[in-house]
């Protein structure tokens, strides 16, 4: 798919993608909707205000969604509208565009609306009302289970019957590039000691979790579950997500109600939402397709290609050092799909709203250096070496972590951009 706009061959934002986000810039200091293409962002508010959507009648009654500070209103219009807008924008940027007057030959609109990504600031794409983090990465769940309980009891009896999840903290979800303070909390200085008495300390076992996440688009009414075979139409699109985890705080607090402060201090997501339609060419079956017979009927999808083949990776750069790729995984390493997660979430009648975020759980492979967290790789005690020879078991202050993911081939990548953050020292507290 060729474009008249010069797009680098390795860009995650090829013409095959067209992800949506929220930006500000010197030209547009108020937050507005945009799409990413190559090294540029197209300001959709400026584009719409200047007649850019003149050849798409279906969006005419809704042009005001592009001047909103979040994508919630646009997402709520539903998947058919998202599809039409994305396909129209693709047609506008095609080398053989049927609408050259809209942008290709319209230099004034290009100057107004087509902005270098280096000159824009990204913001959270949606107002997130609620955030649920699932645990659908089978390999990660098994790896952690082995470390914590041994191989004979690695997976809990319920694990393959339902998408396990916990309710996370929406207020501390931040966009890529936002620095993260190391959290303080209660930890056990000596976990083997008796009696077990905690101390107050900065987290000493700070970890990352490589995840995908889905934004909800159209809501469901309270009391009315969403069918698993209709659930995908309630999903706006996907982002990369880093579910920062304080392993030592978590070890002390998680019994009996699960993680709390170990997870609530920060979650990082990418700013560009990749629509499900853009990921259609990369559909593959989830892990253990035969598990369909183990789940109850409300979780049985008609289609078996219900996850996506998206290569993922994460790297660490220590202060003054070079980037080190720590792990390479793939988004297909999930036992449950996002439609299954959404259907299970609503089966009680729970009502989801536009902007709600559903995390996949950590995505790990089965081979060495495919794990989606440091805890899995180092087992909490076996250091890994960075490019400059320094070692890490968990993250140290000043480390920068970058998650990446993109599917497809050179020139046609469908990717998410960087999901990055630098670790700042813990805030010093006195009591």
Which residues are marked as active site? 140
Judge whether 135 is annotated as a binding position.
Answer: yes
Instruction: Output the CA–CA distances (angstroms, integers) from residue 348 to 163, 225, 258, 268, 355, in the order listed.
Output: 14, 7, 21, 29, 20
- Judge whether 422 is annotated as a binding position: no
**HSE-CB of 142 using CA atoms within 13 angstroms:** 14
133 is in an annotated binding site: yes
From start to end of 54-140, where are the E strands? 114-116, 120-123, 131-134
DSSP per-residue letters across 177-217:
T--EEPPEEEE-SSTT-SS---EEEE-SSEE--EEEEEEE-
Query: Sign of the CA dihedral 183, 140, 316, 12?
Result: negative
Q: Is 371 annotated as a binding residue?
A: no
Q: Which residues face 392 on adjacent strands?
A: 384
- Give CA–CA dist 326/395, Å, rounded: 12
Task: Tell me which residue has tokens 């790789």.
Answer: 377
Does 267 belong to an annotated binding site?
yes
Q: Which helix (H) or strand (E) holds 206?
A: strand 206-207
What is the rounded CA–CA span in Å between residue 132 and residue 134?
A: 6
Could you tell me if 217 and 234 are in contact, meaning their C-beta atoms sit under 8 angstroms apart? yes
**How far is Cα 270 from Cα 242, in angstroms, rounded to an integer?**
9
Cβ–Cβ under 8 Å, residues 364 and 139: yes
Cα separations in angstroms, 147 against 46, 182, 394 = 53, 24, 15
Give every CB contact of residue 315 below 8 A, 6+ residues apart in sequence.
323, 324, 325, 326, 401, 402, 404
Are residues 206 and 423 in contact, defined by beta-carbon separation less than 8 angstroms? yes
C-beta of residue 154 within 8 angstroms of C-beta of residue 142: yes
Whether 250 has a binding-site annotation, put simply, is: yes
Cα–Cα distances in Å, from 392 out to 142, 267, 372, 396? 23, 21, 15, 8
Q: Is 243 annotated as a binding residue?
A: yes
Cβ 261 vs Cβ 269: under 8 Å: no
Binding residues for Ca(2+), as ranges, are 133, 209, 211, 243
Binding residues, as ranges, are 133, 135, 149, 209, 211, 243, 250, 254, 263, 267, 362
Binding residues for substrate, as ranges, are 135, 149, 250, 254, 362
Binding residues for Mg(2+), as ranges, are 243, 263, 267
């Amino acid at each position: 798919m060729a474009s008249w706009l010069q797009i680098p061959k390795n860009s995650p934002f090829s013409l095959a993608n067209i992800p949506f986000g929220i930006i500000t810039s010197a030209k547009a200091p108020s937050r507005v909707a945009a799409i990413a293409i190559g090294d540029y962002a197209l300001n959709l508010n400026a584009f719409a205000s200047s007649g850019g959507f003149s050849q798409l009648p279906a969006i005419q009654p809704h042009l005001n969604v592009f001047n909103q500070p979040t994508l919630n209103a646009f997402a709520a219009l539903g998947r058919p509208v998202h599809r039409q807008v994305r396909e129209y924008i693709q047609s506008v940027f095609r080398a053989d565009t049927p609408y050259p007057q809209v942008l290709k030959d319209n230099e004034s609109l290009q100057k107004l609306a087509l902005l270098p990504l280096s000159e824009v600031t990204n913001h959270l794409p949606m107002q997130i009302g609620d955030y649920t983090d699932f645990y659908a990465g089978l390999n990660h769940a098994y790896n952690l289970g082995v470390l914590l309980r041994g191989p004979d009891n690695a997976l809990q009896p319920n694990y393959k019957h339902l998408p396990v999840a916990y309710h996370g903290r929406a207020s501390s979800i931040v966009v890529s590039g936002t620095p993260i303070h190391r959290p303080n909390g209660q930890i056990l200085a000596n976990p083997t000691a008796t009696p077990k008495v905690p101390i107050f300390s900065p987290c000493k076992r700070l970890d990352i979790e490589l995840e995908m996440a889905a934004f909800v688009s159209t809501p469901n009414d309270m009391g009315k579950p969403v069918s698993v075979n209709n659930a995908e139409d309630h999903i706006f699109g996907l982002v990369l997500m880093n579910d920062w985890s304080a392993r030592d705080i978590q070890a002390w607090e998680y019994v009996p109600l699960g993680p709390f402060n170990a997870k609530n201090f920060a979650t990082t997501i990418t700013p560009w939402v990749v629509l499900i339609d853009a990921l259609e060419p990369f559909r593959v079956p989830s892990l253990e397709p035969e598990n369909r017979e183990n789940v109850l009927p409300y979780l049985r999808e008609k289609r078996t290609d219900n996850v996506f083949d998206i290569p993922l990776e994460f790297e660490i750069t220590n202060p003054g050092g070079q980037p080190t790729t720590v792990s390479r995984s793939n988004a297909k390493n999930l036992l449950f799909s996002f439609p299954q997660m959404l259907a299970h979430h609503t089966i009680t009648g729970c009502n989801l709203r536009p902007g709600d975020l559903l995390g996949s759980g950590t995505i790990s492979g089965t081979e060495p250096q495919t794990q989606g967290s440091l805890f899995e790789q180092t087992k909490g005690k076996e250091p890994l070496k960075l490019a400059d020879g320094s070692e890490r078991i968990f993250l140290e202050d000043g480390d920068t972590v970058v998650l990446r993911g993109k599917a497809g081939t050179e020139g046609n990548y469908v990717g998410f951009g960087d999901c990055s953050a630098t670790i700042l020292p813990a805030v010093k507290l006195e009591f």
